[in-house]
Amino acid sequence: MKNLPNLLPSTRREFLRFSAKGIGLLAFTHYAPSFLVSSARAQIPAPGRDQPILVLVQLAGGNDGLNTVIPYADDHYHRLRPTLGIKEANVLKLDEHAGFNPACAGLHRLAQDGKLAILQNVGYPNPDRSHFRSTDIWETGSASDQYLTTGFIGRYFDNSCAGAPANADPLGVHLTAEVPETFFAEKDHATFGLSDRGGRRQRQQNLALLEKILHRPAGDDENANAGYLRHTMMDALVTEQKVQRVIADYRAGAEYPHTPFAQELRNVASLIAGGFSTRVYFVSLGSFDTHVNQFDRQNKLLQTLGDGLAAFQKDLAAHRLEENVLAMTFSEFGRRPMENDGKGTDHGTSAPLFIMGSRVKGGLHGAAPNLNLARNQDLTYGIDFRQVYATVIDRWLQGNSTAVLGQKYAPLDFIA
């Protein structure tokens, strides 16, 4: 075997330099127009570090909004929630009507610091109570009777980020096993999955072997498609290496809880601080599908959520990155106002949504839900989630919400 470096080149530039020296990979240059194009572009600076970044936080399974932001002054709440209801004395108050579940200390602190906007009663017309279909609706930004094959973030990429240099960092990074539907786009954009829950060591071993397989001189008889595949995979692995290195070298400016969710946010922070030009990160926390014995389960999840987000925000502040980042939660639906016989709640409709960042207008936005409801009746939304998207796209990501969402939605006032 020839004397090859053991590891992949750690940057695109190094990769090119290796190649220029004729080591290893470049036996396939005969096919490589896209590669040469991107090397010509390597001189173009990556999109600036100061571009706004969005972190999407999915609360998978349908978070019960009424036991997250508690309308403690509303008698109907206590009527509908005889066992699950939270007593006024325990509520972390936001104003004289509403306050947080005591498990949301992290979120409450963020709100007190003016870094958390609480959008009340967010939903959409003719809500769908299927987990999968409603998740589709939220991720694509469609109407409830409309089926879209692209996500609202994907369309934002199509619309505002096309033509990014081919050697730039991925536009979207997801910390989930599957590519989130919201990243699906018409055009090709680099996205990257960073999922290391479980099997990490094995994955590392396999990666090392894959690298060896990739990183060898191409035979003279290697066909053009084989070269193309090798190059594309190499490219993906170079990104993976860079990501792993940035994460390993990161010194966080805050103590993160030892939950997988918080560790994922730590990884997001490390990539942001590492200067990745990625515009959107996608993190998921679940499962909020609390049909029985909701109380402890949801409390634990809410605490994980609040403590994780609080640590993330503190970390960003320590790295002076607060101004660049906005985080937004969403869940496919809220849950039914009336608790069920199993001390749980069934699939419902609207719920509060949180926007976190140093540039938000903190506190409650929109009207509290009307709880004067009959048995098993559902909430009617006050804010359409596409209004929230439109505001984030136009006022934060500097995109064009009409193009992304297909129509104009009345903006909201939660960004300072």
CB of 145 to other proteins, least distance (A): 5
Beta pairing partners, 70: 99
Under the binding rule (CB under 8 A), the answer on residue 191 touching other proteins is yes
* The dihedral sign for the CA sequence 130, 136, 139, 141: negative
CA atoms within 13 A of residue 67's CA, in its CB half-sphere: 31
Q: Which of 81, 62, 118 is nearest to 371 (CA)?
A: 81
Under the binding rule (CB under 8 A), the answer on residue 178 touching other proteins is yes
Q: Which one of 27, 60, 210, 252 is in contact with other proteins (CB under 8 A)?
A: 210
Which one-letter amino acid corresponds to residue 179? Answer: V
Under the binding rule (CB under 8 A), the answer on residue 10 touching other proteins is no
Under the binding rule (CB under 8 A), the answer on residue 7 touching other proteins is no
Beta pairing partners, 115: none
Under the binding rule (CB under 8 A), the answer on residue 27 touching other proteins is no
CB of 198 to other proteins, least distance (A): 9
> Within 10 A of 148 (CB to CB), how many other CB atoms are there?
18
Would residue 314 be called left, alpha or beta, if left means φ above 0 and alpha means ψ between -120 and 50 degrees? Answer: alpha
Under the binding rule (CB under 8 A), the answer on residue 229 touching other proteins is yes
Under the binding rule (CB under 8 A), the answer on residue 73 touching other proteins is no
Ranges within 32-51 binding other proteins (CB under 8 A): none
Q: Which one of 100, 192, 333, 354 is in contact with other proteins (CB under 8 A)?
A: 192
Under the binding rule (CB under 8 A), the answer on residue 317 touching other proteins is no
Candidates 44-52, 93-101, 209-217, 352-360 — which segment interacts with other proteins by CB under 8 A?
Answer: 209-217
CB of 22 to other proteins, least distance (A): 17
Under the binding rule (CB under 8 A), the answer on residue 190 touching other proteins is yes
Candidates 49-57, 171-179, 241-249, 321-329 — which segment interacts with other proteins by CB under 8 A?
Answer: 171-179
Rounded to 10 degrees, the C-alpha dihedral 148/414/191/57 comes to: -90
CB 96 within 8 A of CB 74: no
Cα 189 vs. chain centroid, distance in angstroms? 17
Smaller CB separation from other proteins, 214 or 254: 214
Ranges within 95-134 binding other proteins (CB under 8 A): 126, 128, 130, 132-133
- Give the total of residues touching other proteins (CB under 8 A): 42
Q: Which one of 20, 224, 292, 416 is in contact with other proteins (CB under 8 A)?
A: 224
Under the binding rule (CB under 8 A), the answer on residue 3 touching other proteins is no
Smaller CB separation from other proteins, 192 or 330: 192
CB of 177 to other proteins, least distance (A): 7
Ranges within 137-156 binding other proteins (CB under 8 A): 144-145, 147, 149
Under the binding rule (CB under 8 A), the answer on residue 6 touching other proteins is no
Residues of this chain that bind other proteins (CB under 8 A) = 1, 126, 128, 130, 132-133, 144-145, 147, 149, 170, 177-179, 188, 190-193, 202, 205-206, 209-210, 212-214, 216-217, 219, 223-226, 228-230, 232-233, 235-236, 239
